[in-house]
Structure 1
Amino acid sequence: MTQPPYGAMPPGQRLVDLCRVCRIQAPHRAGRIRCPRCNGILVVVPVDQVAQALAQPRPPAAPITPHGAPQQRPVGGPAPGRIRWIAQRPPEARPGPRAANLHRSRPTPRYSSIPRWGLQDLPASWQDIPVETQARSEALKFVAAARQVAVVLGIAAVFHVLRYLVAVVGRDHLIPAWLDIVTAIFVQASGVAALLAMGYGLARFGQWVIAMRALAYRHVDRLEPRRSWVLWLFSVFPLVNLVTAPFLLREAALVDERVLTPRTHLELRKVWIAWALVNAVALTAIVMRWAGHRSGSLQTQADALVWVIVSGVVSAAFAWWMIPRLVAVFNPAAGPARAPSRRRWVNA
């Protein structure tokens, strides 16, 4: 260790390690010869002679070791002051080896046409679509179609009554051939007209459901979550709409707060019960009519005519009275339905 000529050091005197290059000092420690900052030579100086040692000219700095050459380390001494710390993860936290990249062998996906899935393609201003006008127009068309269907079904029921009277009279008396032919033609023609009228009424019902639900979701600033063809299919397809149509109507009623009242649920329940009764009678009439033609019995055919007459009357009554009540529940201009006030009579 290099000792400056500061004279003999008395025993017990406090010593420090001084670097005259970077001017740092620390309590003396045996074996420390290099400065931890600049790697210069440390000198041991008494505490009271530090200022005298610093006043002397600085020695030249230690030469910088090239990057590629290894630094000489003194044998038996500590490590150099410039230490590079490298942080490593513990073994249990180290990631595993990367899997081989298999995506390079796969072909690039291609589409024969532009994909239509994803977000809905809305117009520039979807709130400008006149859904309220469409709903009001479809409601008027639906009510008018229901009245027309009721008239056609009523006429068909009258022709079936005439045919039934001819069959009853023909059991005991002879009837003219022209009367049998004319009543048979009227029954067949009225049956075809009734089927066409029912199809037209169901189509108008599907359009009204689509427009009514669009208006209900517009009032809560939302878009219709179901596609139009799904709504139309669930509303028009026979026997299926017995379950799906009430569900679509109830879903719209739950969304629109204007019509969400206890009376709305009561009216929807009444319409559904009447609709189920109409379907049950119509299905029975179809089965009886098929059985009458297969059996060839006049009595069975007469019974089938009775069921057809009952089905026509029930369906006409439903179309004439229940359809306007159903539309009134979701009428855009009527507002929420109010329960009728009860009247109490008292003695004066």
Structure 2
Amino acid sequence: MIQVCSRCGTRWNVRDRQRVWCPRCQGSLLAPSAEPEPQWSAPSSAGGQPGGGGGTPRRLPSGYRWIAVRPGAAPPPRRPRRPLGPTPRYTVIPRWGLQDHFESVLPAEQVEPPKTSTRMVQATLLTAMVALIFAVVVHIANYALLLYNRSTLLNPIVAGVATWAGVAASVLVFFALIATTVVLANWLIARRAVAFARHELPDPRPVWQLWLGCLLPVVNLFWAPVFVIELARVEARLTWLRTPIVVWWCAWWASFLVSTFAFATSFTRDAQGIANNTVAITIAYLTALAALLLTAKMYRGFEHQAVDRPVKRWVMVTAEPQSHGTPAGDSEPKDAEPKDAEPESAPRVESDRDEPAA
């Protein structure tokens, strides 16, 4: 017995028991059909076999279709879905989900390069110059006393004061020059650090190399000027500082050679040798004073402009057009305007070349 669902059109084999509701969609089942099924109907003639030319099977009425139904009882009904409930709402942002933790990256602290006080450098240079001048004056006075002592004996007190004054002047010059060398080396290192930091480049020379190249007695004659030339090249000042640097370098070499000669002749014991050594020491102090003056000149050449300011400044210049037939001196002033000229703000009604509208 077959019953058809009125909702989904499914045909159910209810066997010999009539049903009311469709097991699939819970729709009402139609009354069982009293017509015999086509596949169970007897053939109208003996030749009604498949492939024969006998009678044809009867067609299903409208609203019916064949379905494949497994034998046995009807399939169990599907489980209804559980209700999901109301939409969740939160009074605050939930913390149980994925969270993005962004670590605040602090800006890297810019390490400021060391700085050297200009006043300290100038004071040290001035002190060394005063010490050299004092030593020159003392040794000139000693040479004058040696000339006077050729015919007349000196007072022991005067002789002692002259001798110890020369020793004190030499010691003062020695420590003043050492202090000047240290201060200028510190200035050079700080100046190089600032210059290379301004160009965002590291200093190719390590600090220990700069200190050794500036403080060692004979090594500084070769390396200290090289460091200064590198600094001038980085600051784009080598064009006008090349001559002062070369002259200072030559004066430094001359002072070193004269000082070496004066020190080598200082071990003599005769009167003429002492007098000659006094003259050599005086010349050595004068040469050192000249080298120190050239050092101060070179230092002022660097400190004439701050290192954090660019040496070149580009300025925009607006070029005014000038006619070829009119000379530059005969150009009319800018403020002068022709009397018949219309104001620039007035709009032009007609074109110059087009004909006016009729």
Unmatched runs of 5 consecutive residues or more in structure 2:
1-106, 313-358
CA contact (8 A) 2:113 2:193 kept: no
In structure 2, distance between residues paired with 1:141 and 1:229: 22
Match of 1:333 among 292, 303, 306: 306
What is the total number of aligned residue pairs between the two structures? 203
Unmatched runs of 5 consecutive residues or more in structure 1:
1-122, 338-348
In structure 2, distance between residues paired with 1:140 and 1:216: 20
SS at match of 1:289: coil
CA contact (8 A) 2:265 2:277 kept: yes
Q: Does the alignment pair 1:310 with 2:287?
A: no
In structure 2, distance between residues paired with 1:141 and 1:274: 24
In structure 2, distance between residues paired with 1:124 and 1:142: 32
In structure 1, distance between residues paired with 2:265 and 2:140: 16
In structure 2, distance between residues paired with 1:240 and 1:282: 16
TM superposition shift of 1:329: 2.8
SS at match of 1:174: coil
In structure 1, distance between residues paired with 2:203 and 2:119: 22
CA contact (8 A) 2:136 2:282 kept: yes
Q: Report the residue type matching 1:203 in the other structure.
A: V
In structure 2, distance between residues paired with 1:265 and 1:163: 39
Q: Report the residue type matching 1:328 in the other structure.
A: R
In the TM superposition, what are the counterparts of 1:29-40 in structure 2 within 5 Å?
none
SS at match of 2:134: helix
Q: Report the residue type matching 2:250 in the other structure.
A: I
| Residue 323 of structure 1: aligned partner | 295
Q: Does the alignment pair 1:185 with 2:164?
A: yes
Q: Does the alignment pair 1:224 with 2:203?
A: yes
| Residue 240 of structure 2: aligned partner | 263
Higher relative contact order (CA 8 A, sep 6+): 1
TM-score, normalised on structure 1?
Answer: 0.55
Pairwise CA RMSD: 2.1
Residue by residue over 1:165-200, the C-alpha shift from the partner in whole angstroms, topping out at 9 and shown as x without a partner, is 111111211111111111111111111111111111
In structure 2, distance between residues paired with 1:271 and 1:153: 17
CA contact (8 A) 1:150 1:315 kept: no
SS at match of 1:154: helix
Match of 1:205 among 177, 180, 184: 184
Q: Does the alignment pair 1:282 with 2:259?
A: yes
SS at match of 1:125: coil
Identical aligned residues as a percent: 25
CA contact (8 A) 1:151 1:316 kept: no
| Residue 112 of structure 2: aligned partner | 129
| Residue 91 of structure 2: aligned partner | none
In structure 2, distance between residues paired with 1:253 and 1:238: 23
CA contact (8 A) 2:113 2:194 kept: no
- Give the structure with the higher percent helix: 1
Q: Does the alignment pair 1:215 with 2:215?
A: no
TM superposition shift of 1:130: 5.1
Q: Report the residue type matching 2:198 in the other structure.
A: H
TM superposition shift of 1:336: 4.3
Match of 2:218 among 230, 239, 242: 239
TM-score, normalised on structure 2?
Answer: 0.53
In the TM superposition, what are the counterparts of 1:68-79 in structure 2 within 5 Å?
none
